[in-house]
Structure 1
Amino acid sequence: MSLDDHAAIAGQSTARLLLEAGAIRVSAAQPFFLAAGWASPVYVDCRLLIGEPRWRRKVTDLAVAALRRSPSTQFSIVAGAETAGIPWAGFIADRLGLPLRYVRKRPLGIGRNAQVEGGEVEGHNVLLVDDLITDGGSKASFAQGLRQAGGVVTDAFTIFHHAVFPGSQERLAALGLRLHSLAGWRDLLRMEPMEGLDKAQRRVLELFLSDPVSWSERHGGRGAG
């Protein structure tokens, strides 16, 4: 089985778990506003997967398998991005028997004024873990924080990648980060209606994906400017 086949199976499995957990929300009438300022009719709440042991074990299985299949990915420490990436980093680090750290968006401002917590990262290859990526903006502060602490950061892992807003690939490339993700919107659209989104929800998603920037701007979010 090829890497692409493995990735497709992992994407479908993750999409099913997200739907089962109620983590995919569709609202055509009232848009969701994402942290990066984009408006969207669909919202992914990966934090709901933390709640049930079966969900978090399965996602951790899929994450570890995906990371092990990537021969270019080498790391000796796992670091969770504040805050939603921290539990997933913990699950992955525990499964792999590796040290765990977490990284804040910015230094704490008190005490040691630390941005990286849990121990040193200097001289180590660090895997940055977050729950999802929208346009890659927040990953810059996390990667830079780890690097300023002496860590080597070349790879990031997320459960979900929006992959529709401009600039994400360019930002990741500028940061020197390879992104590993389990699922995206295309995985949801590949599912049969009986097990995935209903027809109305699929139509809303398809219209949004055809021009997400214009959709966002029309609904009060960020635009092309």
Structure 2
Amino acid sequence: MEETSIGPTVARLLLESGAVHVTTGKPFVLRSGWASPVYVDVRRLISSVSGRNVLVDAALSVVRHRIGVQHVDAIAGAETAGVPYAAWLADRLSLPLLVVRKKPLGFGRNAQIEGAVEPGARVLLVDDLTTDGQSKLNFCKAVRDSGLVLEHVLSIFYYDTFAESRRTMEELGVAMHALATWQDVLAEARTSTVLSADDVEKVQDFLLHTSEWSKAHGGIARLP
């Protein structure tokens, strides 16, 4: 897939698959506590053979052109929704697959990392969605605490609107790679009929005034 076509192609797929939900009533509450009028359900596409093939083709292009296959020794999937995409990508690249849990298993080996690679292996972490980046803190720490090197994160969809997210990635020392962002989705939405003009305006208002919108609708105003 051509580099310039990744964002528009994935954005169109998310819209046409019904993965972008704009509420007409009660706001969604994101994992980190933000109240939002919109929710992007990337997991919807794991059931679509054609859809997931598009995403994996796009991910392959990102690895080859932005990261370099020679710089990746293993693919790690973030529990839960990142695991299928990581598995498909690892298979296409013929690389080992790891699964990173949100927390240690709690019995047996009490593992947080499933799978095995040599210490010092360079790992690419794959997840379905990144909003403010807080969930990546735990995943990245788990990988690094296991003696592995993690410098790159690949997200199917990245909000790329939260200042907190950019600061988190900088503090973690990782580069965030996304197949699509809100900029891509809104650009596609303006030329399609999937979202109404009112929906697009509602999403834009949220993205421009996230803290104010969230606080006014019962969510957090900023990260603790």
Q: Taking structure 2 as the reference length, what is the TM-score of the superposition?
A: 0.93
Residue aligning to 2:196: 198
Query: Does structure 2 conserve the Cα–Cα contact (< 8 Å) formed by 1:19 and 1:196?
Result: yes
- The change in CA–CA distance for 1:68 and 1:195 in structure 2 (over 3 A counts) is farther
Q: 1:163 and 1:29 mapped to 2: Cα distance?
A: 25
Q: 2:194 and 2:148 mapped to 1: Cα distance?
A: 40
Where in structure 1 are there 5+ consecutive unaligned residues? Answer: none
Q: 2:67 and 2:127 mapped to 1: Cα distance?
A: 21
Residue aligning to 2:95: 98
Give CA deviations for 1:171-223 in whole Å, capped at 9, x if unaligned: 11111110000111111221244354221111111111221111011000010
Tell me by how many angstroms 1:146 deviates. Answer: 0.8
Alignment of 1:54 with 2:67, yes or no, is: no
Q: 1:25 and 1:125 mapped to 2: Cα distance?
A: 36
Query: Does structure 2 conserve the Cα–Cα contact (< 8 Å) formed by 1:132 and 1:161?
Result: yes
Alignment of 1:41 with 2:41, yes or no, is: no
Query: Does structure 1 conserve the Cα–Cα contact (< 8 Å) formed by 2:96 and 2:117?
Result: no
Q: 1:160 and 1:196 mapped to 2: Cα distance?
A: 18
Tell me by how many angstroms 1:118 deviates. Answer: 1.6
Query: Does structure 2 conserve the Cα–Cα contact (< 8 Å) formed by 1:158 and 1:180?
Result: yes
Residue from 116, 119, 123 that aligns with 1:119: 116
Residue aligning to 1:154: 151
Q: Which amino acid aligns with 1:78?
A: I
Residue aligning to 1:166: 163
Query: Does structure 1 conserve the Cα–Cα contact (< 8 Å) formed by 2:132 and 2:162?
Result: yes
Identity %: 43
Residue from 210, 217, 220 that aligns with 1:219: 217
Give CA deviations for 1:67-95 in whole Å, capped at 9, x if unaligned: 11115672110000010100010011011
Residue from 169, 173, 177 that aligns with 1:176: 173
Q: 2:124 and 2:11 mapped to 1: Cα distance?
A: 23
Residue aligning to 2:76: 79
Q: 2:192 and 2:16 mapped to 1: Cα distance?
A: 13
Q: 1:181 and 1:143 mapped to 2: Cα distance?
A: 17
Give CA deviations for 1:137-156 in whole Å, capped at 9, x if unaligned: 11011111111111100000
Where in structure 2 are there 5+ consecutive unaligned residues? Answer: none
Query: Does structure 2 conserve the Cα–Cα contact (< 8 Å) formed by 1:165 and 1:213?
Result: no
Q: Which amino acid aligns with 1:6?
A: E
Residue aligning to 2:136: 139
Query: Does structure 2 conserve the Cα–Cα contact (< 8 Å) formed by 1:193 and 1:199?
Result: no
